Structure 1
Amino acid sequence: MKKNISIIGVPMDLGQTRRGVDMGPSAIRYAGIVERLEQINLEIEDLGDIEIGSRERTAGESNLKNLKAVAEASETLSSRVDEVVKQGKFPLVLGGDHSIAIGTIAGLAKNYSNMGVIWYDAHGDLNTGETSPSGNIHGMPLAVSLGLGDPALTGIGGTGTKLKPENIVIIGARSLDEGEKVLIKEKGIKVFTMHEIDRMGMTAVMEETIAYLKDRTDGVHLSLDLDGLDPHDAPGVGTPVMGGISYRESHLAMEMLEEANILTSAEFVEVNPILDERNKTASVAVALMGSLFGEKLL
């Protein structure tokens, strides 16, 4: 992994209905992300936050909530991420809700022809307007990156598919909608549900993930939703699901990714300080980033 890291904050709360996740980037900074990474001799450039539009009162012609504002912010983020990669730096994106991954992946895709993605999340985020029970775009970014969904989203960063389904690994899934289950089977997407994590152990899951992606991709992006962790360890998220990945299992996963040296970008999303306990979830995010970038216990 690169030692020069550019932080991009995306204070987006438009991809879902619960307020507060727009304060996620500030909470993560307050929890000391810059200082934490500088202590392990990394060069950190904080590019600040991108501007986010206003919440829309009506859905317009689409059932997707805040479509225009989400699309505009995603286009801005796509350009910012593209610039960072072209400067030879590691983009570290702080959310915000998970709809921001649409812009992150679109920007990355301009620089990789065969990019892999590790989707660390309780949810598949593989819905489209047709399958989504809510119309919340934060449940759609992975589908959008596969070229599925509203053209206002799939066209961000240029038309075309940003990801191949065989280059995706979902880790920690335990809440999938029916349409997502169909798509996973149809596209052959590799998924480690909590059943596999419980049965195999996180070491085997990460070994298999790394081996699966290492030779087939020219870059690997980590998209980590804090609701992938159990709510006991990460309470400050908008859509908590019981029975998640533990704090220590998550550290192990990050440590193994650092040792494998396959990541070229990362984002941490869905930290909601309003729903949190004394900024606990943001502090967990910062601790996991420390492990991801090489912090050692000894």
Structure 2
Amino acid sequence: MQKKNISVIGVPMDLGQMRRGVDMGPSAIRYAGLLERLEAIGHTVTDLGDIQIDQPERVHTANTNLRNLDAVVKGSTALADQVKKVKTDGDFPLILGGDHSIAIGSLAGISSNYENLGVIWYDAHGDLNTGDTSPSGNIHGMPLAVSLGIGHEDLVHIHGYTPKVKPENIVIIGARSLDEGERELIKEKGIRVYTMHEVDRMGMTKVMEESIDYLKGRTDGVHLSLDLDGLDPNDAPGVGTPVIGGISYRESHLAMEMLAEADILTSAEFVEVNPILDEKNMTATVAVALVGSLFGEKLL
């Protein structure tokens, strides 16, 4: 992997869901040694600090069942502005969450730089809900749908354009909890999904080989959106929506190592680290270790 100029952006967002604590995720990841790890590999790292996120009364917005819609739109717009500046300056944006609703802002700021942005969605969930299909109204279950141009107008039109990504340019890896509306959307749009069945049956090597080959042939940039609940809760307990039977720690390292070797990523985010639910900052430490592998760290 070529050495990169990496700009780190923290997004202490906890408004896309109900469990408090995930706003401390960026601090926990930094505390676990993120910057030092990247610098030791040989990359140039600039920490841009955290996006300012409002903390309003946590309510449904009028005329919609979406929780904290206005505040999420404001935070996502601020993140999109910052990410776009980083891309304009030619640096690699590394974004730290925060709940997964931050991907709305990440992709809004990134995709305008590409004709065919690819997305690897490494997650137990599809995050393809809308206000009509979501059982909870939590926006952290909607960012991929929003980025496809499906959802509330205020969300899909952040930065003045939609969609941010095409369905044929998405690969979901590790899915094992999908709502009915999400399953229907996946089939309707033809989104490529490797559930845990495929991971178990094919092995992570084959899954990643196919994913990399698939995206290399059709995209001009690739964003990795990695939710720590994609891993099994035994390896990453500090997440808000854990789902048993997930990707192992070692499989995740292999996936990151293969992405490093392919050198196709142009941006990345690591989300849903919740220190309140964690054990001795274990999940943040896992996140930092995976970032190390993603950016070319090797044992020998």
Identify the TM-score tier after normalising by the shorter chain: over 0.9
Q: Which runs of 5+ in 2 are unaligned?
A: none
Counterpart in the other structure of 1:271: 273
Any idea what the Cα deviations from partners look like across 1:211-234, whole Å, max 9, x if unmatched?
000020010000000000000000
Distance 2:56 2:210 in 1: 41
Distance 2:105 2:130 in 1: 16
Counterpart in the other structure of 2:150: 148
Structure 1 residue 212 and structure 2 residue 209: aligned?
no
CA 1:296–1:206 in structure 2 vs 1: closer, same or farther (change >3 Å)? same
Instruction: Say which SS state the counterpart of residue 75 (structure 2) adopts.
Output: helix
**One-letter code of the match for 2:159?**
G
Distance 1:109 1:223 in 2: 13
Instruction: Say which SS state the counterpart of residue 110 (structure 1) adopts.
Output: helix
Instruction: Say which SS state the counterpart of residue 26 (structure 1) adopts.
Output: helix
Counterpart in the other structure of 2:101: 99
Counterpart in the other structure of 1:7: 8
**One-letter code of the match for 1:140?**
M
**CA-atom RMSD, angstroms?**
0.7
1:1-298 matches, cutoff 5 A: 3-59=4-60, 60-298=62-300
Q: Is the 8 A contact 1:173 1:194 kept in 2?
A: yes
Q: Is the 8 A contact 1:115 1:221 kept in 2?
A: yes
**One-letter code of the match for 1:42?**
H
Q: Which runs of 4+ in 1 moved over 2 A?
A: 55-58
Distance 1:2 1:174 in 2: 35
Instruction: Say which SS state the counterpart of residue 39 (structure 1) adopts.
Output: helix
Q: Is the 8 A contact 1:169 1:189 kept in 2?
A: yes
Shift of 1:290: 0.2
Any idea what the Cα deviations from partners look like across 1:222-262, whole Å, max 9, x if unmatched?
00000000000000000000000000000000000000010
Distance 1:128 1:271 in 2: 23
Shift of 1:131: 0.2
**One-letter code of the match for 2:254?**
L
Shift of 1:65: 0.1
Q: Is the 8 A contact 1:233 1:247 kept in 2?
A: yes
**One-letter code of the match for 2:16?**
G
Q: Is the 8 A contact 2:76 2:105 kept in 1?
A: yes
Q: Is the 8 A contact 1:56 1:65 kept in 2?
A: no
**One-letter code of the match for 2:242?**
P
**One-letter code of the match for 1:54?**
Q
**One-letter code of the match for 1:296?**
K
Shift of 1:58: 3.2
Distance 1:24 1:72 in 2: 19
Answer with 159-168 or 205-214: which moved more.
159-168
Shift of 1:109: 1.1
Q: Is the 8 A contact 2:15 2:58 kept in 1?
A: no
Distance 2:161 2:268 in 1: 23
TM-score normalised by L of structure 2: 0.98
Distance 2:257 2:58 in 1: 43
CA 1:31–1:185 in structure 2 vs 1: closer, same or farther (change >3 Å)? same
Count of residue pairs brought into register by the alignment: 298
Shift of 1:55: 3.1
TM-score normalised by L of structure 1: 0.99
Q: Is the 8 A contact 1:5 1:89 kept in 2?
A: yes
Shift of 1:139: 0.1
Any idea what the Cα deviations from partners look like across 1:78-128, whole Å, max 9, x if unmatched?
010000001010000000000000000000011011000000000000000
Distance 2:161 2:264 in 1: 27
Identity of aligned residues (%): 76
**One-letter code of the match for 1:24?**
G
Shift of 1:2: 5.7
Any idea what the Cα deviations from partners look like across 1:172-199, whole Å, max 9, x if unmatched?
0000000000000000000000000000
Q: Which runs of 5+ in 1 are unaligned?
A: none
**One-letter code of the match for 2:21?**
G
